[in-house]
Structure 1
Amino acid sequence: MQPQDATEDIVIAGAGLAGLGVALGLHRKGVRSVVLESSPALRTSGFAFMTWTNAFRALDALGVGDKMRSQHVQVQGVRVMSSVTGEVVREIDIRVQGKRGPHEARCVQRNVLLQALEEELPRGTIRYSSKIVSIDQDTGSDAKILHLADGSTLRAKVVIGCDGINSVVANWLGLAKPCDSGRRATRGHVKYPDGHGFQPKFMQFTGKGFRAGLVPCGDTDVYWFLTWSPSRPNADGKDEVEQSAAAMKQFVLVKLTSINAPPEVLDAVERSQMNDVLVAPLRYRPPLSLLFASISKGNVCVAGDALHPTTPDLAQGACAALEDAVVLARCLGDAIVGDGSVEAALHKYAGIRRWRSAQLITASYMVGFVQQSDHAVVRFVRDKLLAGVLAKGLLMMPDYDCGTL
């Protein structure tokens, strides 16, 4: 527990990808920070995520890119499966040349990356079981008074909110509340001790009111997901399938069986370990609101899901968080090392990330709408005409370089 009058120069709320990324970027610049994490240990929910070219450029800037490459297989392509027959309707090689170099994608296990980031930070950087519940202005200075859940307070000269979709910092800045997309997601992970046999390709199933995907992380680990729109919730607001892991598995199997998914995909779901959070609502921040929002205000700003919560349809949420980390660490680090203005540095960061964030949220939402729609006309156009366009669209947003530190 921190004493009542404790003061820190830079406090980062949240030890997720954005928070640890910002802390590591600042550390590389020779700037110390403190990360406050509400959980008692690193949060590993979600199992894994697609890490695209833009994310690896950010990881390289942070100095952990090669460590992730050594532990995760490179995904070679995307296979788009028919919602009618389950057969491959389009296959895209994602190792093609982009505007800034060849594309790269790997399904990275969340806990592996978080641990890699943590290992690069000085001991004591992360303070666990430290949840910010409110923020006040310090009388007579630009500092902020952070009130923690344990009753203690902390005085911070700079506050960076990386505290997720329900961000206390984003709320203090006055950002628009995230909207519910009306869709839900569940995720699973399966380990094959003797090897899984899947090709290093991202299998994508779309239509009939849901969207699913399966991708190997390495030689023994496979990650899958399903997104759908719930129909009739119970009195507690949950579908029956949300009550247990067994019911959720059966729900996923029924969906995949309806489109004749390959037996090996069904077997992976049967064998899988479910996420601690069986079902998560897919929410997003209204993109237009970000164009005029106060992403930074004085010595406070936000990054990661606290800035741009988005639907997962372009697999860019985590990638964008890593971009944020590098850009923010560069802007803030340069200002502090060069004895410049922190407020101007955060304003510069906000200007760089504003349009990028709005673009990612909008594109992801639209792609998800088309891919998951069960409307007959949309389904026909998608499967017959847009399958290749949508698959190639996965390569447009990753063709971005956030720069170096």
Structure 2
Amino acid sequence: MRIAVVGAGIGGLALAAGLQARGADVVVLESSPTLRSGGTAITMAPNALRALESLGYADALAQHPYTVSSDVAAQRSPDGRTLTLLPSEIVSRVRVMPREELHLMLASQVTAGRIRLGCRVDSVSTAGTVRFTDGNGAARTWAFDLVVGADGSRSAVRRAWPNDPGLQDAGYSAWRAITREPVDLTGPDGLAAAGETWGDGTRFGFAPLADGRAYWFAVQTNSVVHRHDDERHLPSTQLLSRLADRFAHWHAPIPQLISATDPEDMHFTRATELAADLPTFSQGRLVLIGDAAHAMTPNLGQGGAQALEDAATLAICLDHLLTDPPGLVNSDRLRRALDRYDTLRQPRIREMARLARTLGTVAHLRMPGAAALRNLTLRMLPDSRVEEPLHRIMDWRPPPPTGR
């Protein structure tokens, strides 16, 4: 079976490796001239790690010691008061990886020469035809048994959908960075922990890396950002100074994390999501994974994990077809496989998108007294109310092969 994977991001690379290991002829078309990680660090929850293991990365993961160095993860108020503690049973199984290292690990499992850089996809057809411009500027048209759109929220493949909803602004923006040096992550309660702190329309999160440095992010509602001269356009040094002033009175180690960061290492993003759910992730010989299929707000930290779940599920659904000769893949059998992928992924994705959207709404409350009331409510919640949605997210396991 000949398959094109459009996009060399997390989901695309992992899927390509998993399909090749199962016998498919796979080529990855990436528009960038280099293999870029596109960010700072990523939190890999247990569901993401299971997906990677299903795709053949168990040995590679065992060689990468990117684990959270504490079993404690707390949610706090800006004065340092603990609102909730996340279950240590889950936190101890989370890995925090620099995105560059993750991309290198994923790409290392893809057959040499099968990642084509500088290839900009211009159009695709539901018959499996891809028209693209290669790295030398030459226009090419190739035919495939299946084309996978793994090319992110502004997917060129998704444009072939007659009802592509496009993107909408989620209402907040984020700055992310990795500190230039190790930072003591001991909080005001004496616990060395990862965590997230919720203020009034503003929040801050952090997690340790294996080498002692820390990954952090700051999120603010766009109404706050715009009131400060649209900070996206400020020099990075001035922006970091403003962030330092804004979080100067928040609990430790938040001010210390900002002061241990080089301005040029910060990344800015506006949070977006699909304006509406896609009714199907496949059309003819086209199928979508990751943000191309279901770009959601980043509040759960599950964007990469859901792309990997997609990749693992799609590989399993296609498994019985992957060794078929190119051009001889039965359309009816392929349609059943893609329908199964849709059936398995649609309910899960819709729940994740809804949870992420709801969490963002709660986290960015701006009405007078609303944030204080929210934080009081979080302190009073029983542990089971915190743990139950976390287990729904992180206890995912790959589906059984087709026919079982």
TM-score by length of 2: 0.86
In the alignment, what sits opposite 2:395?
399
Residues 218-264 of structure 1: per-residue CA shift (max 9 Å, x gap): 13221001111123777xx9703542211221232233224x221x3
Matched-pair contact (CA < 8 Å) for 2:125–2:160? no
Q: Which whole-Å CA distance do the structure 1 matches of 2:138 and 2:224 have between them?
A: 41
Could you tell me which residue of structure 2 aligns to residue 4 of structure 1?
Answer: none
Is 1:198 the equivalent of 2:185?
A: yes
One-letter identity of the residue aligned with 1:164: G
Q: Which residue of 2 aligns with 1:261?
A: 251
Q: Deviations over 1:92-122 (max 9, x none)?
A: 23315xxxxx972121211111111111111
| d(CA) in 2 for partners of 1:187, 1:257 | 17
1:5 match: none
Give the Cα–Cα distance (whole angstroms) in 2 for the partners of residues 359 and 238 of structure 1.
36
Check whether the contact 2:236–2:266 (CA below 8 A) recurs between aligned residues: no
Q: 1:61–1:404: 8 Å Cα contact kept in structure 2? A: no
The counterpart of 2:89, out of the listed 92, 95, 115, is 95
Alignment of 1:1-400 (within 5 A): 9-65=2-58, 67-68=60-61, 70-74=64-68, 76-83=71-78, 85-95=79-89, 104-136=93-125, 142-148=127-133, 150-157=137-144, 158-174=146-162, 175-192=164-181, 195-198=182-185, 201-231=193-223, 239-240=230-231, 242-258=233-249, 260-262=250-252, 264-273=253-262, 278-286=267-275, 289-290=277-278, 293-337=279-323, 341-387=333-379, 392=387, 393-400=389-396
Three-state SS of the structure 2 residue aligned to 1:213 is: strand
Q: Does structure 2 retain, via aligned residues, the 8 Å contact 1:31–1:333?
A: no
State the number of aligned residues. 380
330-339 or 214-223: bigger deviation: 330-339
| Distance across 1 between alignment mates of 2:5 and 2:371 | 44
C-alpha deviations, 1:368-392, integer Å up to 9, x for none?
Answer: 1111213235323321112557854
Confirm or deny: 8 A CA contact 1:68 1:108 kept in the other structure: no
Q: Within 2, Cα distance between the matches of 1:143 and 1:244?
A: 45
- Bigger Cα displacement from structure 2, 314-323 vs 391-400: 391-400
Q: Deviations over 1:25-67 (max 9, x none)?
A: 1012111200011112221222111110100111111232453
Mapped contact 1:37–1:126 kept (Cα < 8 A):
yes
Over 3 Å counting, the alpha-carbon distance change for 1:196 and 1:240 in structure 2 is closer
Any conservation in 2 of the 1:46–1:110 contact (CA below 8 Å)? yes
Q: Distance in 2 between matches of 1:247 and 1:30?
A: 52
When residues 277 and 261 of structure 1 are mapped into structure 2, their CA distance, relative to the original with a 3 A threshold, is: closer
Measured at CA, do residues 276 and 222 of structure 1 come closer, stay the same or move farther in structure 2, by a change above 3 Å?
A: closer
Q: What is the letter of the counterpart of residue 256 of structure 1?
A: F
Unaligned runs of 5+ in 2: 187-191
Counterpart residue number, 1:99: none
Does the C-alpha gap of structure 1 residues 81 and 232 become closer, same or farther in structure 2, counting only changes over 3 Å?
closer
Give the CA deviation at 1:80: 1.1
Distance between the aligned counterparts of 1:326 and 1:65, measured in 2? 13
The two structures have a TM-score, normalised by structure 1, of: 0.85
| Partners of 1:182 and 1:282 within 8 A in 2 | yes
SS of 2:179 mapped into structure 1 = strand
1:18 to partner: Cα distance = 0.8
- Are the structure 2 counterparts of residues 256 and 68 from structure 1 closer, same or farther at C-alpha, using a change threshold of 3 Å? farther
Percent identity, aligned pairs only, is 25
Report the Cα distance in structure 2 between the residues aligned to 1:219 and 1:277, rounded to whole angstroms.
19
Q: Provide the rounded CA distance (Å) in 2 between the counterparts of 1:210 and 1:16.
A: 29
| Preserved CA contact (<8 Å) 2:183 2:260 | no
Per-residue deviation at 1:308? 1.2
1:248 alignment partner AA: L
2: CA distance, partners of 1:202 / 1:168? 37
* Counterpart for residue 3 of structure 1: none
